[in-house]
Structure 1
Amino acid sequence: MLQSSEIERRFSSIQQAIGQASQTLQADSAPSQLKDCIQKLDRESSKAQQVIQSHDENRIRQCVDELESMGDEAKRVCRSQAAVTPRVTEAIMKVHDELSDLKHQLH
């Protein structure tokens, strides 16, 4: 398992990526289904912050697994929508990749 400080640092980076994706979605008029995915990720990542601060390894893994599944959904929606700009795709992929990488390092 990663050190607590490394998990917190990585999670902070993930939250920033989610925030940037949200801003990009607003600026580029992305499909509402994709906006919903990112809004859900944003809400859940705020809740996850408390779990990460608890330092409970099992809860952290479970929480990151759930967030990564949401990232998978955002990626799927992004790829299925024709009206998605390259900037939006890049923002979504950054969120997904960071979540996926953290998940793999926790397992």
Structure 2
Amino acid sequence: MLQAREIQQRFSHIQQTIKDAEQACRSHDAPEDLKDCIEKMARESQQAQQVMQSSDQQRMVEAVDNLESMGDEAKRISRSASSMSPELETAVTKVHAELSNLKHQLH
């Protein structure tokens, strides 16, 4: 199990990848459902920030699990989209990979 401090650092990095994905959605004409999903992840990650500061490992794991399922949804949407820019595809894939990696390290 990762230490709380390391989880917090990784989470900060994940928040940045979510912000990058938000920017990519705005810049690359993303499908509306993908924009909605990424925006929801951004809001959820802001709320999860307080959990990350608490050092409550169980709540941290739950927050990451929740965000990772949103990452799964974003990945699913991006795969089913008829056309997406490579930059947007990369941003979504990176968010999903970062969240999935952290989730697996926490379990």
Give ranges in structure 1 of 5+ residues lacking alignment.
none
Q: Secondary structure at the match of 2:2?
A: coil
1:95 aligns with 2:98: no
CA–CA distance in 1 between the matches of 2:63 and 2:82? 31
Return the letter of the residue paired with 1:94: K
Q: Secondary structure at the match of 1:82?
A: coil
Q: In 1, are the aligned partners of 2:2 and 2:106 still within 8 Å (CA)?
A: yes
Return the letter of the residue paired with 2:75: K
Pairing of 1:1-107 with structure 2 (within 5 A): 1-107=1-107
TM-score (norm 1): 0.97
Return the letter of the residue paired with 1:77: I
Runs (4+) of structure 1 exceeding 4 A deviation are none
CA–CA distance in 2 between the matches of 1:51 and 1:68? 15
Answer with 95-104 or 4-13: which moved more. Answer: 4-13
CA–CA distance in 2 between the matches of 1:49 and 1:33? 24
Give ranges in structure 2 of 5+ residues lacking alignment.
none
- Percent identity between the aligned chains? 57
Q: CA deviation at 1:58?
A: 1.0
TM-score (norm 2): 0.97
Q: CA deviation at 1:83?
A: 1.9
